[in-house]
Amino acid sequence: MQVAANEAKIQLGLRELAFQASWPVRITLVVLVVASITLWVITVLKFLQLRRLRNDALEFERAARHAPSAAVLFSLVDRVRNAPGARVVAELRSRATTNLERLQAAAERAVVDERKRARTLLSPLGTIASASPFIGLFGTVYGIMDAFVRIGAAKSASLPVVAPAIGEALVTTAIGLATAIPAVVFYNEIDRRIGEFIAELEASASEWVALIYSERETQAAAYAAAQTPLGSYPPPGRR
């Protein structure tokens, strides 16, 4: 009768299951809750960051689209310092070379830096998306093991004996999935936006490299022609 009275007091609500759970299951639940909070914080920060990067990039590219020369393009860097395109152009400005391949390499390096900046905090988001189901699975396995231990201790497989342990197992599974599913969705969406942003930046960088190279090549040719004396060319018959 005492066992039946104790079993009657067992509560199977979500809150009761969490507080009555064994310590391994409680630790698993805490880890999943922390992961879920981290997921939403990272998601909000990433969307705000991408919106700011997009606005700055559009502002700079609208101004750079009408730049008639490299000098005008370089002057835009000081006006929109925080724009990704401004950082790419600043890198090109720092390379005093007329070699096209070196200019392209500098632009690619600057774009790689922008990609790294845009992907900040994306790795933890992917880790949460991939690890949360397995963390929840650990709690599930432990809850099932606990259920078998209770069955052996009570020498009974009645529902009041196994229900709390099975309930704990299902709660960890549910929280693990509730954490992993949004993480996967947000990771894919953020990764897609970053890919589009970098593709647009690469296209603009190619245009800027072409403008800078063309102007520097023209200036180098004009300088070389100015340094060559008029009488230094051999007669046509002696070339």
Has residue 234 been placed in a domain? no
Alpha helices in 9-22 (DSSP H): 14-20
Please give the pLDDT value at position 4.
Answer: 43
Has residue 4 been placed in a domain? no
Q: Model-level pTM?
A: 0.78
Has residue 7 been placed in a domain? no
Please give the pLDDT value at position 42.
Answer: 96
Has residue 233 been placed in a domain? no
Parent domain of 93 = 12-220
Please give the pLDDT value at position 3.
Answer: 41
DSSP class of residue 95? Answer: -
Residues 70 and 215: beta-carbon distance below 8 Å = yes
Q: Which residues in 75-99 are b (16+ Cβ under 10 Å) and which e? A: ebbeebeebbbbbbbbbbeeeeebe
Has residue 238 been placed in a domain? no
C-alpha torsion angle, residues 121, 122, 128, 133 (rounded to 10):
180
Please give the pLDDT value at position 114.
Answer: 94
Has residue 85 been placed in a domain? yes
End-to-end, the C-alpha distance of the chain in Å comes to 119
Has residue 1 been placed in a domain? no
Going by C-alpha positions, the residue among 116, 51, 55 that lies closest to residue 86 is 55
Please give the pLDDT value at position 194.
Answer: 95
DSSP class of residue 121? Answer: T
* Per-position pLDDT tens, the chain of length 239: 334 444 445 555 555 665 566 677 788 888 999 999 999 999 999 999 999 999 999 999 888 888 888 888 888 888 888 899 999 999 999 888 888 899 999 999 999 999 999 999 999 999 999 999 999 888 888 878 877 777 777 776 666 667 667 777 778 888 899 999 999 999 999 999 999 999 999 999 999 999 898 888 877 777 677 776 645 545 554 44
Please give the pLDDT value at position 95.
Answer: 85
The secondary structure element, H or E, covering residue 56 is: helix 23-64
Has residue 237 been placed in a domain? no
Overall domain count for the chain: 1
Please give the pLDDT value at position 82.
Answer: 86
99 Ramachandran zone, left/alpha/beta (phi>0; psi -120 to 50): beta
